[in-house]
Amino acid sequence: MASIFSKIIAGEIPSYKVAEDEHHFAFLDINPIAKGHVLVVPKHETDYLFDLDDALLSSLTVFSKRVAKAIEKSVPCQRIGVAVVGLEVPHAHIHLIPINGVYDVDFNRPKLALPAEEMQEIAATIAENL
């Protein structure tokens, strides 16, 4: 069965998309721990990030860099933190999180509940800054 992220990539489930190319896709995390929290995924469905072949892992990292630079321009922050967890969704993904301190990458913090309009605006701003 297709993962929830494959359904997002296929447009079967809505998302706040920020970037896409032939092999990669980026969208806002629906339960963000910071404004501008983005997930970057390979279109090819593989559960575990480190099971990706070298070429795709490399290109995903380069794509993440491009998205991270756009988030930096869009959300006030010191830098973009990077996290890989993957315990919830079995489709490899990289979390890009605007941070001002190490506390900002604490996944145990309460998730932000942002209105849809604000999520849309954040996604659009990041997309414009790519």
- Binding region for ligand AMP (CB under 6 A): 4, 13, 15, 29-31, 39, 85-89
Q: Which residues, at least 6 apart from 53, have a Cβ–Cβ distance to it below 8 Å?
A: none
Catalytic residue among 24, 37, 91, 93: 93
> Does the annotation count 93 as an active-site position?
yes
Q: Whole-number minimum distance, CB 51 to ligand AMP, in Å?
A: 15
How many residues make up the chain in this entry? 130
The helix/strand count (H/E) of the chain reads as 3, 5
User: Based on CB atoms, which residue is closest to ligand AMP, 62 or 87?
Assistant: 87
Residue 26 CB neighbours (<10 A): 29
Complex with ligand AMP: residue 86 or 124, whichever CB lies closer: 86
Taking the complex as a whole, the smallest distance from the CB of residue 107 to ligand AMP amounts, in Å, to 7
Which of residues 84 and 100 has its CB atom nearest to ligand AMP in the complex? 84
Q: Are 41 and 93 in contact (CB under 8 A)?
A: yes
| Side-chain-facing half-sphere of 94: CA atoms under 13 Å | 26
Minimum separation from the CB atom of position 13 to ligand AMP (A): 6
Least Å from the CB of residue 38 to ligand AMP: 10
56/95 with CB nearer ligand AMP = 95
In whole angstroms, what is the distance from residue 21 CA to residue 58 CA? 15
Catalytic residues: 93
